[in-house]
Amino acid sequence: MATPLLGQDRLDHAGLERLIEHILAGGVHGLFILGSTGEAPSLSCRLRCELIERTCEQVSGRVPVLVGITDASFGDAVAMAEHAADSGAAAVVHAGPYYFPIAQAELAATTANLAAALPLPLFLYNMPSHTKVNFDPDTVRRLLEVPNIVGVKDSSGQLVYFKKLLHVAAARPDFAVLIGPEELLAEAIFMGAHGGVTGGANLDPALYVSLYEAARAGELARARELSAGVLRISTTIYAAGKYWSGYLQGIKAALAAMGICEDILAEPFQPFGPAEKALIEKYVRELGWLQGVPLRA
Residues that bind a second copy (CB under 8 A): 8-9, 36, 41-47, 72-76, 79, 96-103, 105-107, 109-110, 113-114, 129-132, 157-161, 163-164, 167, 181, 183-184, 186-187, 190-192, 218, 220-221, 223-224, 227, 231, 234-235, 242-245, 266-270
- Contacts of residue 83, defined as CB under 8 A and 6 or more positions apart, other chains included, come to 49, 52, 53
The least distance separating a second copy from the CB of residue 210, rounded to whole angstroms, comes to: 17
Residue 12 DSSP SS3: coil
Of 125, 208, 238, 247, catalytic: 125
**Alpha-carbon span 1 to 255, nearest angstrom:** 11
Antiparallel, parallel or unpaired: β 149-154 and 176-179: parallel
The least distance separating a second copy from the CB of residue 95, rounded to whole angstroms, comes to: 9
The least distance separating a second copy from the CB of residue 65, rounded to whole angstroms, comes to: 21
Residue 268, preceding peptide bond in cis (omega within 30° of 0): yes
Antiparallel, parallel or unpaired: β 176-179 and 195-196: parallel
The least distance separating a second copy from the CB of residue 64, rounded to whole angstroms, comes to: 25
Distances (CA, A) of 67 to 50, 94, 134, 264: 12, 9, 20, 21
Of 98, 99, 132, 153, catalytic: 153
DSSP-assigned letter for residue 236: T
- Contacts of residue 15, defined as CB under 8 A and 6 or more positions apart, other chains included, come to 4, 6, 255, 260, 261, 262
Q: Is 125 a catalytic residue?
A: yes
- Active-site residues, by number, are 125, 153
